[in-house]
Each structure stands twice: as structure tokens, then as C-alpha cells.
Amino acid sequence: MMRWSEEQQELREAIGAVAAKLGADHLERDQAGTFDRDGWQRLKDVGLFGLPFDPRHGGLGKDLLTTVHVLEQLGHDCQDSGLNFSVSTHMVSTGVPLQRFGSSALKARYLPEICAGTMIGAHAITEPSGGSDVMGMQTTAVLDGDDFVLNGSKSFISNASIADVIVVYARTGAPGDLAGITAFLVRRDSPGLSVGNPISKMGLRTSPLAEVFLDDVRVPRDHVVGSKGAGFLIFDHVMKWEILCGFGINVGEMRRRLERCVEYARTRTQFGSVIGANQSVANMIVEMRIDLETSQKWIYDTAEKVQSKADAAGDVAMTKLVVSEANVRSALNAIQVFGGYGYVSEYGVEKDLRDAVGGRIYSGTSEIQRQRLATLMGLNRPLRPAQA
């Protein structure tokens, strides 16, 4: 069990108090697929976006564990899962790689606005033909004088239509080469960069999703994040943070869902008694609690391991699997507990399921996580050729 300091708890409660006032109209915005700019402004005003970043650039200087702890409360108190997702995407996709790998000049220029939330960030990795195959990306970056020239397209880019800056991953070396990918900080207003129409989706509808097109986009050499060829290293670092922060938010959402089901089961009566007295209903809610507490343990144990710089590759993959799958089960159980009310849109219970399903796909599909674990266990490595 994690022990949190008084300062950590006060910060969590302060953010939670603001988050609790957001999302009152989340069902209407979910139907319309609109981003909550007023909610973003309120979270900006409370300093949420600066949580894990250096105070020299306007951040709060909090460690990974504290950041996840606070974001869990955001997930619990803010009912707009799409807004929560965009918040995590912004912080992790742009701020995290800049702080860890960006040059002093790049950090001084962009991190203050990223921390303040006045400049919104996104990252562009996935491609139409590649999906989860990062090493097979086809977007290229070719050095031309003092600039790199980027060409290609990216798909399923969260925050694309609201972003001011995008961390674009492009190939600067041979396909399949771990040192052949480079990360670039690209301004949205760069000539040749265009964003496609919003993509309608099953869940997280209030978090904008679109394609990004790069047609001879010139990026100054000093806007390379890290160094040429360091893109895969940066991507790996970012994914650890993305999983822990994004799915930490999911844990908060699961906690809110469990509380709602407990309250409903204690007050809803059928056949002369509250439905919580029915063993089958009670068992579903107990399973929701088990899923929640298992997910909490994985999130915080893995965050502690990553923060201590221990080898956590397997832990991160298992955390992503455990939490994403548990979130879907929890949402399905909630629909069953609420019955007909859970199935109709008016109560927002079915929305939880639509939002949860995406977690099995983004940040590396469940199948990719299992494949990574199999590789770490030596199960899918090619056999060595027989010795002569």
C-alpha cells in the first residue's frame, strides 16, 4: 500500500475539487463529439498540465508517482473521459519527451507553454498502413541544408485538430533499423502540414482524432528532439509514461464507476428487496472491486519501478494488459448491474464501455503487449542455427 505525504494528498484534492466541477454536460458533448475548451481552461488555471515538469519552465516538479496519483483523481472526479484522455495525451506526448530529451533551447522555448496549457501538444506515430508496426513507418525526414524535410502521413492522431505543436516520428534511416527513427517537434502552422477532418469514433468522442499529412514540411535541425536516430528510445520512454498516466486515469474512472454501482445496488429495489441483496448482482460488484484494486496495485507498483529506473519492460506491458482488460470488464458489469438503465444513453453507463474499449487498442494493443511478454520470456525468438 502506497503511503502519500500530506502535500501529495493536498495537491490531489485541489485538482479533484476543480475536476469535480467539470463534465456536467459530458453526455451532450459525447453525442456531438465536441472538445471541452472551457474544461481545458479550468484545468490550465489550476496548474494541472505542469505536474511532472521542471519548475524552471513553469512546472510543479512532481515525480511520476505523484503525477499518476493526481491523474487518478482527475479520472475519478471529471466525468468527461475524452477530456481526461486529451489531458494525458498533451502532457505525455509533448512535454515528457521535451523534458527528458529536448535541448535547453527547445525546452526554454516550448515547455513553459506546454506546462501552462496555452500550447496544446500531440504526437504523430501511427501510420495508415503500419498500425502498431512502428519500425515499419514510411514517413521520411531528409536533411536539406539546415532543415529536415518531412513527407508522409499519420493516422489516428489524438489532439491533432486542437494541437499547436506535434512531435512527429519519421524515418531517417533504413526501415527496421532501431537507430533509423528520429523525433521532431513540428509547429502546427508549418507550411505543408495539414490536419484531416475529425474522425468519428466509438468512444472518447470528446477527444479530437484526425489524420496528419506532411508534404515537404521543413523542420529546423534544432527542432530535433534528442538526436538523429534516437526516436525509438524516445518513443519507448514516452510509452511508459503514456501507459501509467493514461491508465492511471482509467483507474480513477473505474473507482467512480464502482461507487456508482454500489450506491445503485443499495437503493434500487426489486422483488421486495434492494438488488444488492441478490448474490449475482453482489458478485458482479465484488468483481469490479477486485479489478479496481488489482489495477491500482499494478499501476503504482510499476510506476514506482519506472521511477527507480529499474528494468520495467515486462511490468509496463502487464500493467497495460491488466488495467485495459479490467476496465472493459468493469464497464460491462456496470451495464449489467444497471440493467435497462445501463443500456440506454441517458444514464451514461453505456458510454463508459465505449470509452473503455479503446484502451485495448491504443498505446499498444493487448495482442502487442502479450507478444512483448512472450519475447521477454524467450517464447517467440528464432532458434539459433545448429553448430557445425
How far is the C-alpha of 270 from the C-alpha of 283, rounded, in Å? 17
For 36, the enclosing helix (H) or strand (E) is none
Strands 165-171 and 121-124: parallel
Which candidate, 290, 104, 84, places its Cα nearest to that of 204? 84
| Three cell numbers written together for 251 | 483507474
Dihedral pair phi/psi, residue 339, rounded to 5°: 65, -130
Question: Residue 147: helix, strand or coil by DSSP?
Answer: strand
> Is residue 10 flagged as an active site residue?
no
How far is the C-alpha of 186 from the C-alpha of 210, rounded, in Å? 16
**CA 274, 276, 281, 285 torsion: positive or negative?**
positive
How far is the C-alpha of 8 from the C-alpha of 53, rounded, in Å? 15
* DSSP string for residues in 251-306: HHHHHHHHHHHHHHHHH-EETTEEGGGSHHHHHHHHHHHHHHHHHHHHHHHHHHHH
Active-site choice (72, 211, 242, 350): 242
Question: Residue 212: helix, strand or coil by DSSP?
Answer: strand
- 3-state SS record for 318-337: HHHHHHHHHHHHHHHHHHHH
Q: What is the residue type of 58?
A: G
Distances (CA, A) of 240 to 48, 120, 153, 319: 20, 21, 25, 10
Q: Which residues are catalytic?
A: 242
